[in-house]
Each structure stands twice: as structure tokens, then as C-alpha cells.
Chains A and B, each alone.
Chain A
Amino acid sequence: MRPDPGSPQLTRTLALQIRRHALRMVTQARASHIGSALSIADIVAVLYGAVLKLDPANPRAARRDRFILSKGHACVAVYAALAETGFFPRAWLDSYGAPDSPLLNHISHSVPGAEFSTGSLGHGLPFGAGKALALRRVRAPSRVFVLMSDGELDEGSNWEAFMFAAHHKLDRLHAIIDYNKLQSLTSITRTLGLEPLADKLRAFGWAVREVDGHNHEALQAALGEAQPGQPSALIAHTTKGKGVSFMEDQVAWHYRSPDAAQLTQALAELEAHHA
């Protein structure tokens, strides 16, 4: 029997494809940030496989949901999801890292399906709030999802936007926080502690839920949940480098790219885990 469209079985398969593509892309490009991409692979798979209302044949359709990757350095996960869901040919992924590739190493709005170029942190949520404000004015059914990192919450611009969105009751705005507890040099706790994060966001007026960011059933239930009159924040507890044993929870894989042997091992681990 075929699984239902959007079922956890299918989104888990999409997550596997995203992880495979991401690993191959950063290896061939000798690029960084594989840990960040693996951290969000399940969230991105559930979004593109089951939550976002999108039309790959018409990436700018007025009634689409908007997805903004604020942690633009994790772009390979989103490029892979866009290719797997038909926004552009999978072959484009092979160009990652080439001088003339449209797939820049931070997400680029020149790629079909990518709403907004980021790369510097703290830009996605204010932009998403502006979109939500504009869409409400025209009574559009669209929702706006902004996927952010935890380290990114150091940026004050996010807290400006948290205040604004709650004050203006932007209840079609969804912030997803990839809470893998690591930032660029070391852990969150040893850099600028975020706890109590859920309480902070509630105090800012947001409807807050917490979820295991690698559990597809839980993600499907939580993503898109909304309270009338409040913007929604989903704190997704994740593991940086998820799915590849030697990358998990290691700051080094924010920077390193795998060699051929490491790629082979990583892909084998993914297959074994999925089977």
C-alpha cells in the first residue's frame, strides 16, 4: 500500500534524501555548515513534505505559504528539499560550489522557491513579519514560516521583531527555532545562555510549543499549529549533525567538509538508520 501524501513515512524518506544530497553537496564543494543542515533536515522535510502549501510549477503563486530560511548557511537542506519537491532539476544540486552555480552557499532568492537571501543572521524574522503584515492586509490565506537558529537569537533584531509581531497579533507568522544548543565557537550555554527560552518567548506574547525536532509525527502535529491573535514559536530540540555519528554535537562540523571516506561512512550510516 502506498503511504498517504505527507505521511511521516514519506517525510522520513524526504529527510533521508535531504541528508544524502546535503552530504554530497558539501563534500563536492568542500563547503562548511553540514552540521547545521543535518540539524534541520527533519524540520525541512516535514515542512516541504506535509505542511507548506506550495506549487512547484508556480513558485510565486499568490496563495502559497512563505518559507524563509533565516539561518541561510544551512541552505543545502532547503536546496535539496526544493529539488526533491520539483522546484528545479535535481541535477542543479551537482553545481553546488561551482563558480557559476545559482546555488550560492548561503540561500539565494535567485533560486526558484527561495523567498529571501540570507546569510547574515537576524534578518529573517523581521522580513517574515513584514510579509505577514502585508498578507493580512489583503486577507490572504498564506502563512509565513521562518526557520531560525538558536545562536541567531543573540541578534537584537529578532527581539525587536518578536515584540512587533506579538503587538500586531500576527497569528499567521510561525517562527521555528532549531535549538541544537551549539553555536559557532562553542555551546549556547557557554556563549550567551538562552534559557528559559520558552518563558522568554511567552513573555514576549508568543504562543510557544516545544517539540523533538527529529520526530516526524511530533513535527507534523506541531508545525502550523496556531493560536488566534498570537504569533507562534516552535522550539525544536535538535542535534547538530543529526544522523551521522561522528558529526553529532560537534562544533567542528560547522566548518569541516567530509572527505571521500567520511562521506561513504556517513551515507552508510544514514541507510542503516533508515532501514
Chain B
Amino acid sequence: MRDAFIAELVAQAESDDKVVLLVGDLGWSVIEPFAERFPDRFFNAGVAEQNMLGLAAGLASEGCRVFAYSIANFPTFRCAEQLRNDVDHHVLPVTIVAVGGGLAYGNLGYSHHAVQDYGLVRMLPNMLIAAPGDPQEVRACMRYLADSPGPAYLRLGKAGEPSLHAAPPRVSPGEWLTLREGDGSGRSFLCTGTTLAATLRRVEADPLLAGHAVHSLPLWGARHKARQLDQLAAWQAIVSVEDHYADCGFGSWLLEAKNAAGIDTQVTIEALTPPPAHPLSPSLPEGAPTCP
């Protein structure tokens, strides 16, 4: 996915000299093709995400199309207010490029797990979430963003995700892509982001799920709920699939869209569950004074 992203970005930068790439001191072995080709449009902001997002907004306000690349929590939670005020409120063409969506960073631990990022981004009214399911959807999302510049959050896995489409599909905000038709039983898995490959494998391997369709929804966000109504209404039952906590996630967004329209499609959410709490107990020597 990262390679598809950078290849597409380099291709866009060839024809559009307004494309600028900022990185938060991350992207080793990913961003070099851009940095070497366009050194005057590549800036490493250092380990300083608040400034990186402010810079991104400033550049974009002067006509640049800015991509700000980092590991998912850093260009979002670390600088949430810059994303909210500087980028989203001013409706500027800045795409946050977040690598390591969901649990992609595994044993690197909680700091690197992006399991609340949809929740943050989807509260921002002008942000478009781009959560592609495979490298072809990455290319498709990048082409959509080139044609429709605005605040966006591109959530990538890491590397090595398989291609599930033969070519970049046509994508549009709120529109489901069909990966598997199903048998007409009216049941479908609706995936966003990198859950797509595992869901397809699961449906193909489990005879009990043989009749299910599989869809991908790579482009969504606060302004695209209404587009769900017709698509949801065509199904008896949907299972939404995401690598994010259920709270404020993709399935939650889908339920909000459904409830607003009073559709009776059954929506079941498959999402991550927070682990049991593991409090840090203060270690005080025996007999030490305690805080009043």
C-alpha cells in the first residue's frame, strides 16, 4: 500500500507542481522516490506534528496540494486541534497520510495502534476518510483526491497487502465497491480499510458464509451518510468490518446513517474491543507521605 501511494504521488507530482510532501521524520524506504525527484517540494518537518499540520495548512492556503505523512496517531491525535482548526475548518487541500492503520504495527504497542483514528477524523465535518482495502484502491483514492482536493485522511496499512482488484476501481465518496456478488440471500460484509483481504479469505473459506457478498467502502466521512441509504436498503443484513474500536468507528457511522433514515436493514458491527484495563499503580516506598 505504501508503495502504491508513493508511486501515485510521484506520478501526480510530475504533472502538478503544486503537490508538496511533508513528513514527520518518518517514511524511511518509502518516501525516497518523491524526495529524490522533487527535493524542492519535500520537507521533513521533524518530530513536530503540531508544526507540520500548521505548515501544511499554510502551504495549502497558498495553493499547494499537501500530503503530510506519518504513523497514524501522530498526525491526528498529537495535533488534533491543528487538524480541526487549521485544516478542516478552513477546508484546505491537505491529505493526512497515516501508515499503520488498525493493529498493523502489532508488537510496537499501544502508542502505534490506530484504533480510534476514524472516531477523531469522522467528527470533523469537512474531512474525507480514504481507507482503501488494497493497493488498487489506494491508487483509486489518490486519483479521486487529485480531482477533488479538500481535507482528507488517507489511512494505509503498511506494506505487502495483496491486490484484490485487477485495476484501480472507480471510487466516489460513500459508494460501495463490489468484491463478491453473493448468492442473493441479501447478506453482505461491508469492509473499510485493510480488513478487506482477510474478510474475502474468510468468506471464501467458510461454507457457512458462502452466500455472503463482500463490499468495500474506501471513501466515507461526516458528509457522506445520506449516500448510504439506498445501498443499505438493498440488503437484509450487513456486517460492517473494521480494524478500529466499535465506539465512533465505521459501523457506528453506518448505524447513524441507517437510523436517520429509518431503514430496517440489520447492521452487525465487527470491530476491535479494547483490552482489559491495566492500571499503573504508583509505587510508593513504605510509609511515604501521600498526596493530600
A123 touching B82 in the complex, CB below 8 Å, given contacts A134-B64, A163-B46: yes
**Are B58 and A164 in touch, CB under 8 angstroms?**
no
Q: What per-residue 1/0 map shows which CB atoms of A112-135 lie under 8 Å from chain B?
A: 000111111011011111111111
A157 touching B89 in the complex, CB below 8 Å, given contacts A129-B58, A130-B58, A131-B61: no
Asked whether any CB of chain B lies closer than 8 Å to the CB of A161, the reply is yes
Asked whether any CB of chain B lies closer than 8 Å to the CB of A89, the reply is no
> Chain B's nearest CB lies how many Å from the CB of A75?
15
A164 touching B89 in the complex, CB below 8 Å, given contacts A126-B58, A134-B62: no
Complex-state Cα separation, A130 to B86, whole angstroms: 11
Q: Summarize B's interface: helix, strand, loop or mixed.
A: helix
A122 touching B64 in the complex, CB below 8 Å, given contacts A130-B58, A133-B58: no
A122 touching B86 in the complex, CB below 8 Å, given contacts A133-B59, A134-B58, A134-B62: no
Give the residue of A118, A127, A156, A164 whose beta carbon is less than 8 angstroms from that of B45. Answer: A164
Interface bin, chain B: 20 to 34
Complex-state Cα separation, A18 to B291, whole angstroms: 50
Complex-state Cα separation, A127 to B61, whole angstroms: 9
**Are A122 and B58 in touch, CB under 8 angstroms?**
no
**Are B85 and A123 in touch, CB under 8 angstroms?**
yes
The residues of B that contact A271 with a CB separation of less than 8 Å are none
> Chain A's nearest CB lies how many Å from the CB of B51?
4
Asked whether any CB of chain B lies closer than 8 Å to the CB of A30, the reply is no
Asked whether any CB of chain A lies closer than 8 Å to the CB of B53, the reply is yes
Complex-state Cα separation, A156 to B56, whole angstroms: 17
Asked whether any CB of chain A lies closer than 8 Å to the CB of B164, the reply is no
A127 touching B57 in the complex, CB below 8 Å, given contacts A116-B90, A156-B50, A164-B51: yes
**Are A126 and B82 in touch, CB under 8 angstroms?**
yes
Asked whether any CB of chain B lies closer than 8 Å to the CB of A259, the reply is no
**Are B50 and A130 in touch, CB under 8 angstroms?**
no
Pairs A-B, 4 closest by C-beta atoms: A130-B58, A126-B54, A160-B51, A134-B62
Chain A residues close to B by CB (< 8 Å) = 109, 115-120, 122-123, 125-135, 137-138, 156-157, 160-161, 163-164, 168
18 A-B contact pairs sorted by A residue (CB < 8 Å): A117-B90, A119-B85, A122-B50, A123-B81, A123-B85, A126-B54, A127-B55, A127-B61, A127-B86, A130-B56, A131-B61, A131-B62, A134-B59, A134-B62, A134-B64, A156-B50, A164-B46, A168-B43
